Amino acid sequence: MKPDPANDNPKPCQICGKPSAEKYRPFCSARCADVDLHRWLGGRYAIPAVETDEPDDETILPDDGNASGDD
């Protein structure tokens, strides 16, 4: 069986720059994986979003004052 050419030159760890390890890919170690997780949970990484003034659901019904939901 031929070795996988993708494993011959692994991409560097996104945290420290060392070669990534198969077990922790795309990181080199559990420590770097944990550092990345901490950054996500701490809000250091964010996905940009565009805020709009329009409601997400166009089927919002006007409030008729009946809080019980019975008609």
- Per the annotation, binding residues for Zn(2+) are 13, 16, 28, 32
Spatial distance between the Cα atoms of 18 and 31, rounded to a whole number of angstroms: 12
**Number of residues in the chain:** 71
Task: Output the known binding site.
Answer: 13, 16, 28, 32
10 Å CB burial of residue 54 (0-12, 13-18, 19+) is exposed
Spatial distance between the Cα atoms of 33 and 63, rounded to a whole number of angstroms: 48
